[in-house]
């Protein structure tokens, strides 16, 4: 990536190119053209070469932007979990609340239209991963997934490194992600026109119910085994 110092105008141009690239790559993957990206950003096509080097470098810059975005929104959750696990006997109610807070934060982000391009980009990478996904995974997804797995394990009495616990954690995350990946289905089934704060709150209530059922069920299974 070009490391030439940039002015505030240059930073604005880079931000516009990243936003446009996320939208174009989300729709078309690496088949998106630099011409269309530059046009959507309102920039000269040469700006992509100047600031990023190539289309592939711009793609990786988008992945880094996503990693930074996710990290910023979930840093507090990770910090709170780290503090909680530093205690000899972490409080179970606090563990449950951290799990719920993480889910509710995801719901809030995934019901916003301005994160749609981000979701499309990551969805493409999940199905056809490139080096870009590895960057996002290593920096934020793996640490977050591991923290949530550890929280669920601590609450239910399971082993955090057990494959089945990882699968249960992923299944729980899938319930939240379904409201983005199955966005059109839920809008049509509920008759909603779009997601807003009221709809997000209603979804959060349902997820809270499901999380409690999962945690209680896994805890009972752990006690019986």
Tens-place pLDDT, residues 22-38: 999 999 999 999 999 99
The two tokens of residue 84 are 């909680």
pLDDT at 174 > cutoff 80: yes
User: What residue segments make up the domains of the chain, in order of their start?
Assistant: 1-53, 61-224
- The pLDDT, as a whole number, for residue 223 is 87
Look at residues 155, 170, 127 and name the one whose alpha carbon lies nearest to residue 222. 155
The two tokens of residue 23 are 């939208």
Q: How far apart are CA 83 and CA 137, in angstroms?
A: 23
Give the fold, CATH level 3, of 1-53: Arc Repressor Mutant, subunit A (1.10.10)
- CB contact at 8 A, 90 and 163: no
pTM: 0.90
Mean pLDDT on 144-170: 96
- The predicted-structure confidence for 43-87, as pLDDT tens digits, reads as follows 999 999 999 999 999 999 999 999 999 999 999 898 999 999 999
Q: What is the DSSP letter of 111?
A: T
Please report the DSSP string for 169-203 in residue order.
HHHHHHHHHHHHHTHHHHHHHHT-SS--HHHHHHH
Q: How far apart are CA 71 and CA 67, in angstroms?
A: 6
- The predicted-structure confidence for 92-145, as pLDDT tens digits, reads as follows 999 999 999 999 999 999 999 999 999 999 999 999 999 999 999 999 999 999
Q: How far apart are CA 23 and CA 4, in angstroms?
A: 25
Q: How far apart are CA 213 and CA 123, in angstroms?
A: 28
Q: What is the CATH number of domain 61-224?
A: 1.10.357.10
């Amino acid at each position: 990536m070009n490391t030439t110092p940039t002015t505030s105008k240059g930073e604005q141009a880079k931000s516009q190119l990243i936003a446009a690239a996320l939208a174009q790559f989300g729709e078309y993957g690496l088949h998106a053209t630099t011409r269309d990206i530059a046009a959507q950003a309102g920039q000269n096509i040469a700006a992509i070469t100047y600031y990023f080097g190539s289309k592939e470098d711009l793609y990786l810059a988008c992945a880094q932007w996503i990693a930074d975005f996710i990290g910023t929104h979930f840093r507090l959750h990770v910090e709170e979990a780290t503090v909680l696990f530093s205690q000899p006997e972490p409080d179970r109610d606090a563990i449950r609340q951290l799990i719920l807070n993480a889910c509710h934060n995801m719901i809030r982000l995934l019901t916003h239209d301005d994160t749609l391009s981000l979701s499309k980009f990551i969805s493409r990478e999940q199905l056809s991963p490139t080096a870009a996904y590895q960057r996002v995974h290593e920096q934020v997804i793996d640490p977050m997934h591991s923290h949530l797995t550890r929280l669920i394990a601590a609450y239910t009495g399971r082993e955090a490194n057990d494959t089945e616990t990882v699968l249960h954690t992923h299944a729980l995350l899938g319930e939240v992600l379904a409201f983005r990946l199955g966005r059109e289905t839920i809008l049509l089934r509920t008759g909603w026109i779009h997601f807003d704060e009221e709809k997000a709150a209603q979804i959060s209530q349902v997820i809270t119910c499901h999380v409690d059922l999962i945690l209680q069920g896994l805890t009972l299974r752990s006690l019986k085994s």
